A = this chain, B = another copy of it.
Amino acid sequence: MKTKEIAIKSSFKEQIIDITSKIEDSLKKSNIKDGICNVFCPHTTAGLMINENADHSVKKDILMKLKKIVSEDLEYTHSEGNSSAHVKSSLVGVSLNIPVKNGKLVLGMWQGVFFAEFDGPRDRKIIFSIL
């Protein structure tokens, strides 16, 4: 198994960043043709998701709606003031598994792999593994 860190840089407080090509690059370099690719986010105020990468308004709508669902809350006790980001991280998750066939991610036609920043801007990273 090969594990590799991939650097990601977010530019805004909240941002959905397409990382599909970064993962495909790491996959190519691994020379593995068939298996499962794991992408892991080692951060607690960010997450990973797979969704539509054709129309950019989908990413915008997801962030907007998550902000309403996980609204700010006077009852939060965590002193850093970023509890909503922690909740969002646990709702979207920090670990993805994508099948690999003939050296390619088996993604649907409209799917892209996204890093979801909920407490940026920050220097982030993801862990790429392949089995």
A107 to chain B: closest residue by CB: B42
Q: Is the CB of A58 within 8 A of B40?
A: no
Q: Is A73 an interface residue (CB 8 A)?
A: yes
Which stretch of A7-15, A19-27, A81-89 is in the interface?
A81-89
Q: A57 with B79: in contact, given A36-B1, A50-B95, A93-B93 (CB under 8 Å)? A: yes
Q: Is the CB of B131 within 8 A of A35?
A: yes
Q: Is the CB of B55 within 8 A of A80?
A: yes
How many of these chains are in the complex? 3
Q: Range of interface residues on chain A?
A: 35 or more
Task: Tell me, in angstroms, the Cα distance from A109 to B43 when the chains sit together.
Answer: 8
Q: Is the CB of A90 within 8 A of B106?
A: no
A90 to chain B: closest residue by CB: B49
